[in-house]
Amino acid sequence: MPEVVLRGSIGYSFPLYRNLHIELRSGYLYCVLGPNGSGKSTLLKTLSGSIPVFEGSLEKIPHDSASSYLPPDPPELPGMRGGDAALSFLATNEKRLLYGNWRSEQSLERLVRYIEEFSSPVDLEKYFNELSTGERMKILLASALASEADFLFLDEPSGHLDVRSRILLYRILKREKESRLIVLSMHELSEASSACDKGILLGAGNFYGPSDIGSILNEDLLSLAYGARFKKVLIDGKPLLVPYDIKE
Amino acid sequence: MLSSVEDYVEKKRKRLKLLILTALFSLVPVFWLSLYLGSSGPLPMWRWHLDDPIFQLRIYRTLTAFFSAASLALNGLLLQNLLANPLIDSSILGISSGSTLGMLTGYIISAKLGLYIAPIVSLIFSLATMMLVYGLSKMGGFRILVVALSGVMVSTMLTSISYLLILVNPAISKGGVALVLGSLGYSDTWSVYLSLASFSVVAGHQMLRVGNIRKILLGEDLARASGINVERIRKESLIVSSLSISLVTLSVGPIGFIGLIIPHISRIAVGGDPGACSITSTLWGPVLLICADIVSRVAFMPSELPVGITMSIIGAPFFLFLLIKSMRR
């Protein structure tokens, strides 16, 4: 069961949040919420190992398992076709010169399945930078899901996706969360409420969580973090938080 | 519309096989023509033995062309992948001109000292140019046009200084101006060794690091998350490329555009995978350069054109075509 433990401070050139002790494990879908610039990406990148822990330690269990970090905006990849972008994702870091470099036939089969399930109308022969941002994101998401990474850190994965694709994405993530650790960041509070199990809320210098999404989606906490006013609406017993005004 | 991944993989595998086979089949007649034709006229088959001086020269020339083209194509591919920029190669970035200037400076120093140090000076100049261009690119935020433009300017400046050195010291080298333009006309055993060394360095690096480069291409954060030391790989690649370019420049001078045209065509044919592209570049680069060299030798018989000129005549419009394509986006 993939698990990650972060102790210490996070930040690039100065500590953004200090004395953290976060334990995340598979079985839950985690989301990181917070206003722009509050450090959502910094947290995700630190957890993925893309940037070092500012001060402290990061422990991954199992420690030799791969992590994947997907940025909010897909890269341009000039000259590359959609299919090659997807296949590069599955390739291991080893020195394999040719196609067939994915770790197992299994992950290729999974890629086929995810591309079909999640992004069927995407043309893999098209140049990657001629696809729309949403289509590029779908290809990368499908490849990240098909890869053998046990740790997936997805930075605003739904940002460029249409409504139907978002629902499909969360459906896949809910299925995948049992066997891998998945952490997302997002701006949509309603999506966090309906899709995620646990949340981390950043903002105004405070770090809340990880705790149950219900307790994170609290009007007072949110209004403190975001500087906006929220109304709570119950739909099918689930709380939806609707922002309606800024806090003066 | 093609959406199945398996179809895509199968298609790319077939394409790669086709490209390898056609390259191997074209290399045979191209090699033959390169040995048969030349500025001193066709060489009848009965003179094809290694004691014949003209046949010997043409063997050296063809082998040098093969290894230097493979090296230039691979270096172009490596630089394009590292800087995520399809508009560059060793000549457009000015690394080749830097090595040439270093080589000429090396000849002058060597003559004064009585000690042959031209390769070392060439390598130092090559590294310095690489650092300069990389620094400029970093300042420009690695934007595609900024990188290409700053490279072209560095190249123009360094080439002009090279011409100046030759004007002041006409006896600087046997090649003279042809060496600044890039020429296969002075090939000897050493050119073969140097171009082979250059090719081995860059090909070896490509074999060892292709997995890492593939991931860095997808994005730095992603590569770091999967455990790759991006800065180290990038530095290492730039140093290896500088070394390789300086070796090939010592062999044939700054022949441009092979490293631009060949990786581009490879990408169109087999997709953007750096592994597949490096194989097709290694084989198709020599086909192009040897053909260009044959044209250079026979077009103005009995005198010959430096192949660098022929390549620029083919390559510059190709660069403009890529430039227009990238501006449209």
Q: Which tens digits make up the pLDDT trace of A139-164?
A: 899 888 888 888 999 999 998 999 98
Q: What is the DSSP letter of A91?
A: B
Same domain for A144 and A186? no
In a domain, B19, yes or no: no
In a domain, A70, yes or no: no
- On chain A, the residues whose CB falls within 8 A of the CB of B20 are none
In a domain, B162, yes or no: yes
In a domain, B38, yes or no: no
Distance from CA of A79 to the nearest CA of B (A): 6
- Interface check B132 vs A, CB under 8 A: no
- Interface check B214 vs A, CB under 8 A: yes
In a domain, A108, yes or no: yes
Which of residues 265 through 284 in chain B touch A, CB cutoff 8 A? 267, 271-273, 275-276, 278-279
In a domain, A244, yes or no: no
Residue B281 is part of a domain; what is its CATH number? 1.10.3470.10
For residue range B5-30, list pLDDT tens digits in order.
777 888 888 889 999 999 999 999 99
ipTM: 0.86
B154 within 8 A of B94, measured Cβ to Cβ: yes
From CA B315, how far away is CA B182, in angstroms rounded? Answer: 14
From CA B87, how far away is CA B316, in angstroms rounded? Answer: 11
pTM, to two decimals: 0.90
Under an 8 A CB cutoff, do A99 and B227 touch? no
Of B13, B86, B226, the CB nearest to A68: B226
In a domain, B300, yes or no: yes
For residue range B172-229, list pLDDT tens digits in order.
766 677 788 888 988 899 999 999 999 999 999 998 898 889 889 888 888 998 889 9
Of A49, A98, A108, the CB nearest to B275: A98
Same domain for A98 and A155? no
- On chain B, the residues whose CB falls within 8 A of the CB of A49 are 224-225, 227
The contacts of residue A63 (CB under 8 Å, 6+ apart) are none
Tell me what the pLDDT averaged over chain A comes to.
86
- Provide the domain count of chain B: 1
In a domain, B63, yes or no: no
- On chain A, the residues whose CB falls within 8 A of the CB of B329 are 129
Spans in chain B with pLDDT lower than 50: 1-3
* DSSP per-residue letters across B58-120: HHHHHHHHHHHHHHHHHHHHHHHHHTT-TT--TTTTTHHHHHHHHHHHHHHHHHHHTS--HHH
Same domain for A54 and A82? no
A107 within 8 A of A86, measured Cβ to Cβ: no
Domain housing A95? 77-149
Same domain for A11 and A56? yes
Same domain for A127 and A189? no
Nearest C-alpha in B relative to A153: B225
In a domain, B76, yes or no: yes
In a domain, B318, yes or no: yes
Work out the pLDDT band at A87, boundaries 50, 70, 90. Answer: confident
* DSSP per-residue letters across B197-259: HHHHHHHHHHHHHHHHHHHHHH-HHHHHHTT--HHHHHHHHHHHHHHHHHHHHHHH----SHH
In a domain, A234, yes or no: no
B18 within 8 A of B12, measured Cβ to Cβ: no
- On chain A, the residues whose CB falls within 8 A of the CB of B147 are none
Phi-psi sector, A209: left (phi>0), alpha (psi -120 to 50), beta: left
- Looking at residue B1, its pLDDT comes to 36
In a domain, B34, yes or no: no
Domain housing B178? 69-328
B56 within 8 A of B180, measured Cβ to Cβ: no
Residue A197 is part of a domain; what is its CATH number? 3.40.50.300
Under an 8 A CB cutoff, do B222 and A92 touch? no
Distance from CA of A219 to the nearest CA of B (A): 34
- Provide the domain count of chain A: 2
Same domain for A82 and A128? yes
In a domain, A208, yes or no: yes
Same domain for A128 and A143? yes
Same domain for A99 and A212? no
Nearest C-alpha in B relative to A142: B5
Work out the pLDDT band at A102, boundaries 50, 70, 90. Answer: very low
